[in-house]
Amino acid sequence: MSDVDFDSEQYQKHREAGEILATVREETVERIEVGASHLEVAEFAENRIRELGGEPAFPLNISVDEEAAHATPRIGDDSTFGEEMINIDIGVHVDGWLADSAITVDLSGNDELVEASAEALNAAIEMIEPGIDTATLGDVIGRTIDGYGYNPVVNLTGHGLGHWEQHTTPNIPNRKVPQGTTLEAGDVVAIEPFATDGGGKVQEGSEEEIFALETDKSIRDRQARQALEQITEEFRTLPFATRWLDVARPEMALRRLKQEDVVHGYPVLKEQAGYYVSQKEHTVIVTEDGCEVTTR
């Protein structure tokens, strides 16, 4: 028996974040249809999280077709959904304790690719218990996706969730690797298979709308300084969107903060053009005899 107190405030807040996320994910998916606005869907999800008592742990990711991660609407974005494969990745925190979940909404007619990542996630979750090696989880994820005739995205992984930390150890690979990490009771991890009909490696694109604090230091420029104050008070170390900043010229303020190495950006990650990426993700707490999925 472990000495982890699963009734502690930490785990209760992880669960609360997961419950909020599950509700918002369902309501957001209902709004995705051909012609709907990316920006309106993102703002709906983020505002709904706040209405339900949480805060967004990162901007709503809306990744389309070959995009895999880090895409979110720009200020004034007029993009609308087409007959595409759409990945929605949602993060919620309650006092810095996180939940992270993603789902693919397919308007492109590629059901099996969606099923591949979903079944890989199910297969991994069924195996989670104290003592399981993350390499074993990567192997089952990779083999499940291979069984559908697709490739796992090998340079993206699941991850641990810390306090005010969206990505922490351990990494959960999406393929067989030589060596992993042993999960223990009390660990909180996001399992996150990506499947693709492409080569299985994503590259950084040129677009960048999501940022996070790198270091807090004195900034002379007034607008950049105002932006930094908001970042450190509201978002701390968690990712945020350009459109979340309340300063007059947010793009310029962010450019200055990036030049000073105060913030770093998250470029959109993409497969090769013409291919699709599907994603499915849940957050789990490793329990004494298995795991508890907080985001179902």
- Is 163 labeled as catalytic in the residue annotation? no
pLDDT of 224 > 80? The answer is yes
Q: What is the pLDDT of residue 3?
A: 84
DSSP structure string for 125-193: HHH-STT-BHHHHHHHHHHHHHHTT-EE-TT--EEEEETTEEEEEEEE-SS--S---B--TT-EEEE--
* Residue 209 pLDDT exceeds 90: yes
pLDDT band at 1 (very low <50, low <70, confident <90, very high): low
Average pLDDT over residues 216-244: 96
| 70 annotated as belonging to a binding site for a ligand | yes
Work out the pLDDT band at 2, boundaries 50, 70, 90. Answer: low
Q: In degrees rounded to 5, what are phi and psi of residue 214?
A: -100, -50
Q: Please identify which of the residues 67, 159, 209, 282 carries the catalytic annotation.
A: 159
Ligand-binding site membership of 281 (annotated): yes
Say whether 33 counts as a known binding-site residue: no
Residue 32, pLDDT above cutoff 60: yes
For residue 67, list its beta bridge partners.
270
For the question of residue 281 being annotated catalytic, the response is yes
Ligand-binding annotation for 282, yes or no, is: no
Choosing from 16, 55, 281, 282, which is the catalytic residue?
Answer: 281
* 84 in active site: no
The confidence score (pLDDT) of residue 217 equals 92
Q: What is the mean pLDDT of the chain?
A: 97
Which position among 65, 89, 119, 271 bears the catalytic label? 89
Q: What is the pLDDT of residues 95-129, one digit of tens each?
A: 999 999 999 999 999 999 999 999 999 999 999 99
Q: Any known ligand binding at 159?
A: yes
pLDDT of residue 106: 98
Q: Hey, what are 170's tokens?
A: 């351990």
Mean pLDDT of the 253-276 span? 97
Residue 100, marked binder: yes
With contact defined as beta carbons under 8 Å apart, do 161 and 283 qualify?
Answer: yes
What is the pLDDT averaged over residues 166-183? 96
Note if 159 is an active site residue: yes
- Could you give all domains of the chain from N- to C-terminal order, each with its CATH number? 9-205+270-293 (3.90.230.10), 210-266 (1.10.10.10)
pTM of the model as a whole: 0.96
Stretch 168-179: mean pLDDT, rounded? Answer: 96
Residue 62's CB is within 10 A of a number of other CB atoms, namely 24
Model confidence over 42-86: pLDDT tens digits? 999 999 999 999 999 999 999 999 999 999 999 999 999 999 999
- Residues 65, 100, 106, 119: which is the catalytic one? 100
78 marked ligand binding residue: no
Bridge partners of 260, per DSSP, are none
Whether 233 is a known active-site residue: answer no
